[in-house]
Structure 1
Amino acid sequence: MSKVRSLSLTSRIMVGMVLGVVVGFIFQAILAGEDDFLIPLGLFSLPIKAFFVDGIFHVGGQIFIASLKMLVVPLVFVSLVCGTCSLSDPKKLGRLGGKSILLYLATTAIAITVAITLALLVNPGEGINLPSDANYSAKEAPTLAQVIIGMFPTNPIDAMASGNMLQVIVFALLFGVAMALSGKAGKRVASVFEDLNTVILKLVTLLMNIAPYGVFFLMAKLFTTIDLKLITSLALYFGVVVFALLFHGFVNYSLLLKLFTGLNPITFLKKMKNACLFAFSTSSSSATMPITLETANKKLGAHNSVASFTVPLGATINMDGTAIMQGVATVFISQVFAVDLTISDYLMVILTATLASVGTAGVPGVGLIMLAMVLNQVGLPVEGIAIIIGVDRLLDMTRTAVNVTGDCMVTCVVAKSEGEFDEDVFNDPNAAKDLEDYHKSIN
């Protein structure tokens, strides 16, 4: 036990993840397709699935996710207000916004282009028989006008309560600018927010201590219930998506980082381990946001005035991983239904998916909504989503890790361009070492 406690947080999360996968497979073998398996214990029997999978694993995993989501709104609001009110030039906000959105859209366009190219080379949909009961009902996506109007809150408290991050970001920016322009009164309020920011970041550090247990519960439940036969039948589609995600995460991001900043991509990727593990286990950019912000600020060296803006924005609109899934899925579904798409169709897919990454921000089930929009745009049946939806949970974990990596890459590029980047922190292998030591001390 003492050896486990001496491990770094990243190592303990890895241990929890591996153990969760192993336990999940063991439970799946025990259940063997049955509704449940009863273990006789004297006068009563213990149901494996009801007690462990739907009970302990489910409750433990959801508590972990809830504890992370609990921090998102206060962390984003307070951090963004602190960053905004510290800007000496209010025009800088316009530059930050313009650079960030342009980079996020550019990486999304690159991602889906790579995905379509790989899918056309591999042809994952050839030889797949369409299930006779395939059916999928797509939710209606909002129009661009609705999204723009919806960015501005009529009730900021309601926006925070409902977790509408675009509205929270807009209100925080306006509030921070107002503080910066309010003289002494603004400075007094700013000092309160700085103290609040310190307390919230300490709360993040405390909650990270339960991460290995939360990851174990999430992995154990997932691998108990996942359909391995379905993955086998869609192995080629699954493999193409995973390869495209890894290529984008390791190669494209590294090239862009080196091109725009001159920073060492290997150092960057090493420092992303923690955030990527959280993203993989939670499948949520929003839930991972506290760790992403901590990574961008404490490990990568991006100043809070930039990171507090680009990270929440990226968690809301950066859909690189989802765009890759859409690119491969579009080719896959077109081949399953034997529909030939033209070059103009593929260009329309790239354009639609790139713009939809902003246009569907904050909508539940965003990945499938975006895919339905893309399929409709090129005349493919939306019912094709039913074929791939069974393996989407595992793919969602990987693409969330890619999205988080993209958020931090864009943060580094924007921070470097604005002179708000500490290269000594980036190059220091022991940056944020105090955080790791603190995690160990309270374990």
Structure 2
Amino acid sequence: MQQLEFKTEASMDNLPVMVDFIREKLLNFRIKKNQVIKTVLLAEDMLVQLIEHRADEKSQVIISLRHFLGKGSLVIKCRGSAFELEDTDMGLKELLNCPSDNDEDAVVRSIVRKNLQLTLSMEHVRTSNVIKITFDSSKYQQLIVTFSAMGLGLLTGFILKETLGSSACEYISENVFSTISTMFLNAIKMIVGPLIFFSVASSVAGMGDIKSLGRLGAKVFLMYLFTSILAILLAYGIFNIFPMGNNSLADLFEESSAEAAFLPSAMPISMWKVIQDIVPSNFLGAFTSSNMLQLLFLAFLLGIISTVIGDASQKIKGGLDIANIVFTKIAAVIMKTVPLAIFSSMAKLMLNLNPSAFTAMLQWIALNYISFISLAIMYGLLILFLAHKNPFIFYKKYFEPVTTAIAFNASAAALPSALKACRDKLGISSKVYSFSIPLGNTINMDGCCAMMLLTVLFFAKSFGIEISPGILCSMMISIYLLSVGSPGVPMGALVCVSLLMTQAGIPKEALGLVIGLYPIVAMFMTGTNVLGDGAVTLIVANSEKLVDEKIYNGNV
């Protein structure tokens, strides 16, 4: 971490010295030239304002610069009277060279600051004005931080496993790493209900045209259905190309039976049951259980009703907008702890890994990874041919939600970053993503569909069991229904697989061979699900002309 500080008298005569100091140090941080120019221009304007509002001629300007892992901040402090950022013209009068009123100035100032791609904030602390300018010197900063946290976590877990006994590793895993990971996931579960509810409700309330809302909802649902069918067919095609199975697994079958006994049980799920459960019997129960379909139903109901109740509509809409902003900010604060939580999650994974089981099930793991990579390519092709957009831009800008889902093996953990990526990086309108992303989090399980089919086919080949075309077709239909309404229990996808294995005549006790390695596959399965949510959202938004091309194609 690099940190520098400079003090000088707050006067216009010293302005060039201060600007030169900022420029020189930014260049020393190896920041791109255009980023330096933007930061210096904004800093110069802010320095002028601080000097104009200084307390007296003896007041000093204190400039602090910090830089770490591609993230930088410039803090400028000076004793003086309080003022608002909206009072500064940022040199607009000279830039525009035309008269304008205050409202026009405010709009243009906002546009200029946004185009600078810098975060500007100010506060008056005691007797001093403190201005902070935050900038990113590396567009790969989040990627670097995420993979660093993953790598350090895996390395830490490996070192602990090699140097400590099994009891010590188990204690650290359960009482240190599990605690941190669980606290993060609990925080996500706490915020995800109100975040989704108010995001959807405020979006629906501001939409006005209920007919367009129905058309949009139908498009999203049908697109999710289409990708799920493609995922099932793709998985079947992959197994025919790579018909993997391990005959030696039969020797381990007895050992795995005891472990499979602890797998939760579930009743078969029908589409009618899923539809029935959309309407909650308790308003607050939908929040406490984080049931996405029920939350979406309540949010749509509130949003639609708020548009048809006369004079109070605007007040309700304003309240929903404020609540949405509040919970979005809370989610942003929680997401700042992601690197620590990722580190803990990866360390725990390494401590609990069984090397011998990993070797025996390597073909099953490889088969699933091939399907997840194929699904990712399929999403890119859909974006290219249906939305006519560069899929590599989508991959790059939607990377953070995917890595978050992979690290925590939880789609809900990626919801805040997925919503943010759709808004800030992909330029998708909130009319689409506020509904599509939460719905996809519930019903779009393309990775899960592929994993379930491949697991059943893998065990069928391993145990020499033939699956007839009729059973295969029936199983494919069951896979979609199970993916939509998978039970909310630990390892819910494996519970669904156990039902499918019974349907195919495979003893479900064989799943004991999978349980210990399931997290390795489930991580990337969840990441694939989240990637599919973003792809469908982009395709549907583009069909409705609700994608900001400048944001999508711009550098963020």
Say if 1:180 and 1:365 are closer, same or farther in 2 by CA, change over 3 A. farther
For residues 490 and 312 of structure 2, the distance between their equivalents in structure 1, rounded to whole angstroms, comes to: 39
Structure 2 alignment gaps of length 5 or more: 3-66, 72-140
In structure 2, which of residues 254, 260, 279 is the aligned counterpart of residue 132 of structure 1? 254
Specify the code of the residue in structure 2 equivalent to 1:125: G
Counterpart of 1:144 in structure 2 is 271
Deviation sequence 1:369-406 (CA, Å, 0-9, x none): 32233223333332232222221111111011111110
In structure 1, which of residues 230, 235, 247 is the aligned counterpart of residue 362 of structure 2? 235
Say if 1:257 and 1:105 are closer, same or farther in 2 by CA, change over 3 A. same
Structure 1 alignment gaps of length 5 or more: 37-47, 431-443
Q: Does 1:398 align with 2:520?
A: no
For residues 423 and 350 of structure 2, the distance between their equivalents in structure 1, rounded to whole angstroms, comes to: 34
Counterpart of 2:226 in structure 1 is 106
State the secondary structure of the residue aligned to 1:226: coil
Q: Does 1:18 align with 2:148?
A: no
Any conservation in 2 of the 1:317–1:361 contact (CA below 8 Å)? Answer: no
Identity within the alignment, %: 29
Aligned residues: 416
1:413 shift after superposition: 1.1
Q: Does 1:82 align with 2:202?
A: yes
In structure 1, which of residues 157, 173, 180 is the aligned counterpart of residue 284 of structure 2? 157
For residues 159 and 304 of structure 1, the distance between their equivalents in structure 2, rounded to whole angstroms, comes to: 22
Counterpart of 1:224 in structure 2 is 351
Counterpart of 2:483 in structure 1 is 357
Counterpart of 2:167 in structure 1 is 35
For residues 244 and 198 of structure 1, the distance between their equivalents in structure 2, rounded to whole angstroms, comes to: 38
Counterpart of 2:437 in structure 1 is 311
For residues 187 and 274 of structure 1, the distance between their equivalents in structure 2, rounded to whole angstroms, comes to: 35
State the secondary structure of the residue aligned to 1:132: helix
1:362 shift after superposition: 5.0
For residues 398 and 86 of structure 1, the distance between their equivalents in structure 2, rounded to whole angstroms, comes to: 36
Question: Given the two structures, how large is their TM-score scaled by the length of structure 1?
Answer: 0.89
For residues 345 and 235 of structure 1, the distance between their equivalents in structure 2, rounded to whole angstroms, comes to: 27
Any conservation in 2 of the 1:24–1:223 contact (CA below 8 Å)? Answer: yes
For residues 362 and 179 of structure 1, the distance between their equivalents in structure 2, rounded to whole angstroms, comes to: 32
Question: Given the two structures, how large is their TM-score scaled by the length of structure 2?
Answer: 0.72
1:86 shift after superposition: 1.4
Any conservation in 2 of the 1:4–1:12 contact (CA below 8 Å)? Answer: no
Specify the code of the residue in structure 2 equivalent to 1:389: I
In structure 1, which of residues 65, 77, 95 is the aligned counterpart of residue 185 of structure 2? 65
State the secondary structure of the residue aligned to 2:528: helix
Counterpart of 1:436 in structure 2 is none
For residues 270 and 451 of structure 2, the distance between their equivalents in structure 1, rounded to whole angstroms, comes to: 22
Q: Does 1:206 align with 2:333?
A: yes
Aligned-pair RMSD on alpha carbons? 1.9
Counterpart of 2:503 in structure 1 is 377
Q: As a proportion of its length, which structure holds more helix?
A: 1
Any conservation in 2 of the 1:105–1:355 contact (CA below 8 Å)? Answer: no
For residues 349 and 297 of structure 1, the distance between their equivalents in structure 2, rounded to whole angstroms, comes to: 38
Counterpart of 1:176 in structure 2 is 303
**Higher RCO (CA 8 Å, separation ≥ 6 residues):** 1
For residues 488 and 221 of structure 2, the distance between their equivalents in structure 1, rounded to whole angstroms, comes to: 16
State the secondary structure of the residue aligned to 2:163: helix
For residues 389 and 113 of structure 1, the distance between their equivalents in structure 2, rounded to whole angstroms, comes to: 25
Any conservation in 2 of the 1:140–1:369 contact (CA below 8 Å)? Answer: no
1:20 shift after superposition: 0.2
Q: As a proportion of its length, which structure holds more strand?
A: 2
Counterpart of 1:41 in structure 2 is none
1:224 shift after superposition: 1.0
For residues 5 and 141 of structure 1, the distance between their equivalents in structure 2, rounded to whole angstroms, comes to: 49
Larger radius of gyration: 2
1:14 shift after superposition: 1.6
Any conservation in 1 of the 2:422–2:428 contact (CA below 8 Å)? Answer: yes
